[in-house]
Amino acid sequence: MTTLVDPRARAAVRALKRGYQPGKPIEAVKRQYKLSSVIKLASNENALGPSPKALAALRAAAPSLHRYPDMACTALRRRLAKTLKVDPASLIFGNGSDELLVLALRAFVDPGDEVIVAEPTFLIYALQAKACGAAVRAVPLARDRYDLPAMKAAVTPRTKLVFIANPDNPTGTYVTKRELEAFLQGLPAHVLVLLDEAYYEFVAAADYPQTLPYVDRHPVIVTRSFSKAYGLAGLRVGYGVARPPIVAAMDAVREPFNVNSLAQAAALAALEDTAFLQRTRRMLQEGRRYLGRELGQLKIQVVPGVANFLLLKLGPRAPQVAQRLLEQGIIVREMSGWKLPGCLRVTIGTMPENRAFIRALQRCLAAMEVAA
C-alpha cells in the first residue's frame, strides 16, 4: 500500500520516491501462498540464529526492562574498546549501524552539501543523504566493484561525506587495502569518509584492509554491526569508531537511550561467544562452496563476493524466477530496485536451506524451459 506524503513535509522528503523496502516477512509469505514452511534468504541474516550466550544474556536482562538503558553503553563500550584496542572515547553506538550513517549525515552535512556514493550500493546512503537536503553524486561501479579513482575525482569543494561499503551490499565485492589507501591519500581535509563494514567478520581475504589504524591518520568513520555475524538483527545494535571529536559531533545529534538494554546485554555476551562466530564462518565457507558449484552447473553467473550472500545474474528471467521461488517458499531478493535488473541476491543459509534453494531453483528453471 502506497500513501501520499503530506504536502507540509520538507521539500527534500517530498522528493524521495520511496523509503527502504525490506525483504518479505516469513509469516506474510506463509499466509499469502498457504505454505507451512518458508525459508528466507533475502536479508543477509545469520542462518544459525542468535548466539546462545546472547540468548542467555537476554533472559537475565529481562527483569530490568522497567529501567531506562545505560545511555553511554558503558559495559559494552569498555569491553569493545578492549577487544578492538581503541580509546573508549572513539566509540559510538547506534540502533543498528544504519543509525550511525544517519548520525554522520546529521552531524556533518548541511543542505546543499554533496555526498558521494557508488551506484548501486546500500540504498540507505543516498536515501538519507537526500532526506537531509544533500546533493548526491553517484559514481557507477566498474565490473561490480567500487571505482575509487572515479569517486575521488568526483570530490568537489562542496563534498562533505563519502560512503564506502566494504564489503559492498548488494554485490558482495570488496575494496582492497591498496585501493583504499590510494583513495585516502591526499583526500581534501574537508571530506569525511564513512567505511561501512557491516560484513567485516565474514572476510578472510589477505588484501582486505584493517581500517581501525586509519582512524588516527585520516578523517574516517568505521561502522560495524552485531546484526550479521552475531545474529542480532532483531535487536538493532551497531557501533562506530572515529576520532573523539568526530564521535562528539555525532553524539551531539544522537537520540537519548538509542540502544536498548536488551541489545546492549546481548551484544556484550555475543562478543564473548567466539565459538559461535567460528561456527558462522564455517557455515558460510561450506555454503559458498556448495552454492558456487551448484550454480555453476546451472550455468548461472555469480559475482565473486566475500560477504554472507551471493549476487546472481540471470538476465530477463530474474523477476519470474524470484516469483516462482517465492511460491515454493523460498524468499530471495530481486534487485531491480537497486538498479541491478536481471539479478537476484541470495543469502547463504544452512546446508539444508541451501539445498532446498537449489532444488527449488532447478524446478523453476526446468518449468520455465518447458513453458518456453
Number of H helices, E strands in the chain: 13, 13
Question: CA torsion angle for 149, 153, 156, 162 (degrees, to 10)?
Answer: -20
Q: Is the pLDDT of residue 151 over 80?
A: yes
Q: Is the pLDDT of residue 328 over 80?
A: yes
Q: Note the pLDDT of residue 20.
A: 61
Contacts of 14 (CB under 8 A, 6+ apart): 5, 7
54-273 domain in CATH 3.40.1010.10?
A: no
Contact 187, 193 (CB under 8 A): yes
Q: Note the pLDDT of residue 193.
A: 98
Kind plus residue range of the DSSP H or E element containing 371? helix 351-371
Taking the C-alpha atoms of residue 80 and residue 272, their distance in angstroms, rounded to an integer, is: 10
Q: Is the pLDDT of residue 114 over 70?
A: yes
Amino acid (1-letter code) at residue 154: A
CB-count exposure of residue 365 (10 Å: 0-12, 13-18, 19+): middle
The count of C-alpha atoms lying within 13 angstroms of the C-alpha of 367, restricted to the half-sphere facing its C-beta, is: 12
Just give the CATH number of 11-49+275-371: 3.90.1150.10
Q: Note the pLDDT of residue 18.
A: 66
Q: pLDDT tens digit string along 206-245?
A: 999 999 999 999 999 999 999 999 999 999 999 999 999 9
For 45-76, letters b (16+ CB in 10 Å) and e give bbbbebbebbeebbeebeeeeeeebeeebeeb
* Residue ranges of domains in the chain: 11-49+275-371, 54-273
Query: Which DSSP letter does residue 69 get?
Result: P
Q: Is the pLDDT of residue 19 over 70?
A: no
Q: Note the pLDDT of residue 7.
A: 83
Q: Note the pLDDT of residue 2.
A: 64
Adjacency order of strands within the sheet including 192-196: 91-94, 238-241, 220-225, 192-196, 159-165, 114-119, 135-140
Contacts of 194 (CB under 8 A, 6+ apart): 101, 104, 161, 162, 163, 164, 220, 221, 223
Contacts of 168 (CB under 8 A, 6+ apart): 118, 121, 122, 145, 146, 174
Kind plus residue range of the DSSP H or E element containing 159? strand 159-165
Q: Note the pLDDT of residue 370.
A: 72
Q: Which residue has the higher pLDDT, 172 or 17?
A: 172
Taking the C-alpha atoms of residue 286 and residue 74, their distance in angstroms, rounded to an integer, is: 37
